[in-house]
Structure 1
Amino acid sequence: MDWHDIPSLSALRAFEATARHNSFSAAARELNVTHAAIAQHVRGLEADFGAELVFRQGAGMGLTDAGRALALSLGEGFSTIASGVRDIRALRQNRPLTVGMTPTFAENWLMPRIGAFWTEHPEIELVLQPSYAVVDMRRDGLDLAIRYGHGEWAGLDTELLVNANYVVVGAPELAAKGEGSSMKDLCALPWVFETQRLEQRVWAQEVGLDLSCTPITKLPTNALVLSAARAGAGLSIQGRALVERDLKSGNLVCLHEAPLSTLGYYLVTRPVARSEALKIFVRWLKSVVAAEASG
């Protein structure tokens, strides 16, 4: 399509509205512009085509033969556009809500709680995409991502869901051996780490844990790390949000906690209008966090 051969779309909209209403004033009200702006657009089209499109008819406007032909074509064209837009919006509203997150967050925070959402909102289909890979929300079709960090992702809207500062945890029997100890003294106890998560080790060294002389077991996933920690196989470093239930139930005991910071799990969305399903899911996530914080 050669857009150079097509007049301004604003002018075509102005004429199409004038033709439907037989009035510059009514067209101006519909398009929220001035009467003069509509008249100027229509006169501009007439100059471009070299033909009259409208003429004064009593209190309103009449259409010439050229005007009627153009109005018919524009009506059909704009109707096709409107239909296509409605179809795309309906597709967005009706498709499943796609949510990306790390496998750790999915396994240890979301899945123990998600049953309540499914019970409350069976009409909303959720597609959960756990992954450690860096994702492109537009490319991967994500409506929402739940990301761990300080909330600084350029070009995206972010909102803190829950703080997730690191804590050192262990099963009660093992934790009793290190109760009151400094991080340096905890080197003598066994530890479990996820193979790929280096940031936990960096943090451990920063707070005084000498990994060179610490007995460490490496496991491929954080789910296995947590299972080992609950079984007493070693101490573990976790985001507090992931082990809150374990701490409340007594399955794990906290031996050390980092000062509160902006580190946490953030709700990340693209800067576009949110679907109703996304609004509902975000409200539910926030309500869970609020309820657990007050409880």
Structure 2
Amino acid sequence: MARPLPLQQIRAFDAAARWLSFSRAARELNVQQPAISRQVAALEAELGTRLFLRSKPSLTLTEDGRLLAKAVNAGFETIREAFAALQARQEDDTVMVSASIGFTSLYLLPRLAEFQAAFPEIKLQVMTRDQNEDFDVHSCDVVILFGEGGLSGTDSRLVFRETMIAVCHPDLLPDRTPFELAELAERKLLNLTSPDHRGDWNRYFAKAGITVPTPPAHDGYVSYMVYLRAIQNGLGIGIGWQPMMSEYLANRTLVRACHHQCTTTRGYFCSITPQGEEKPGSEQFRDWIGQSLSEPS
């Protein structure tokens, strides 16, 4: 086990090294000059080396003294930075929410004014994390995840279950009539290639016993927002999620390509991270979004 550091001696040395004066160090630390001299002498005895040349009119650091002063200064600077960061966290009550760009754009942002009207005292900052492999969910206060459940070990709220629908540009329906399932399977289907959504079409067709072939690379998209734009541009038929498609279907930017829909056990879950537990606004946001399954105003 490492020996405890002689913190009082180090503190006296640090002040003396910065001022190159025992007297001025004593004034800074509000002690008598002999106390500083004794602490520095004790530290020199502990280390077995001289740290100062006691010259006049000021002290001079020895080579060992300069080495120690540099290390002590760096250590104290690290401590000061940690203090500042911790104080900033306590003073900053902004709730950091992390979600995918698709969920943020299509579900959260259209409803955010409702939250701000209900909780004007809560400052909210939304950050997206798509394609960020190094993202740490614990770096935010609230995280919205897609899958079978929320963040492990937290009290999470279901926002909504996954309900997949087939959507396309209106011009891809020749007589404005949605396709039957078997007919839909023969059309050009666009695919998301992210791990969560790689098999979406097979999930969609599963109850009908239809299996679709692996799509060619040029019909696959990593980003949901690029995927959505491809669907809107009539490049093929894609998967959409309710209720995130409500606005597009209402203004007929997109239409249902088939009446069939598929609800799975997956969904969007809202969780509070250990960091977010210290902010009351985190719980209010989680509870609000867990009850916010309504059309945006």
> Per the alignment, do residues 205 and 214 of structure 1 end up closer, same or farther by CA in structure 2, a change over 3 Å counting?
farther
Q: Superposed, which structure 2 residues align to 1:1-295 within 5 Å?
A: 91-92=89-90, 94-118=92-116, 121=119, 123-132=121-130, 133=132, 135-138=135-138, 141-151=139-149, 153-175=151-173, 179=177, 181-196=179-194, 197-204=197-204, 206=206, 208-211=210-213, 217-254=219-256, 255-270=258-273, 273=277, 275-289=279-293, 291-292=294-295
1:182 offset after TM fit, Å?
Answer: 3.4
Q: Deviations 1:245-276 (Å, cap 9, x if unpaired)?
A: 22233322222444434321111123674522
Give me the whole-angstrom Cα distance separating, in 1, the residues matched to 2:177 and 2:211: 15
Decide whether the 8 Å contact of 1:163 with 1:264 is kept in 2.
yes
| Aligned-residue offset at 1:239 | 2.2
In the superposition, the TM-score normalised over structure 2's length comes to: 0.56
Q: 1:168 to 1:216 in 2, by over 3 A?
A: farther
The percent of aligned pairs where both chains have the same amino acid is 20
Distance 1:267 1:155 in 2: 13
Contact 1:228 1:234 in 2 (8 A): yes
Q: Secondary structure at the match of 2:219?
A: strand
- Could you tell me the TM-score, scaled by structure 1's length? 0.57
The 1-side partners of 2:185 and 2:203 are apart by: 14
What are the superposed Cα offsets for residues 113-144 of structure 1, whole Å, 9 maximum, x if unpaired?
Answer: 33444566554333322124575433xx2211
> Which residue type is aligned with residue 223 of structure 2?
T
- Give the 3-state SS of the residue equivalent to 2:172 in structure 1: helix
Equivalences, count: 210
Alpha-carbon distance between aligned partners in 1 of 2:151 and 2:199, rounded to the nearest angstrom: 18
Q: Deviations over 1:186-240 (max 9, x none)?
A: 1332332234341324425635252358997334421122122223332111222
Where is the helix percentage greater, Structure 1 or Structure 2? 1
Task: Extract unaligned runs of 5+ from structure 1.
Answer: 3-86
Code of the residue aligned with 2:285 in structure 1: it is F
In 2, are the aligned partners of 1:192 and 1:235 still within 8 Å (CA)? yes
Shift of 1:100: 1.3
Q: Distance in 1 between matches of 2:174 and 2:217?
A: 18
Range 197-206 or range 162-171, more displaced: 197-206
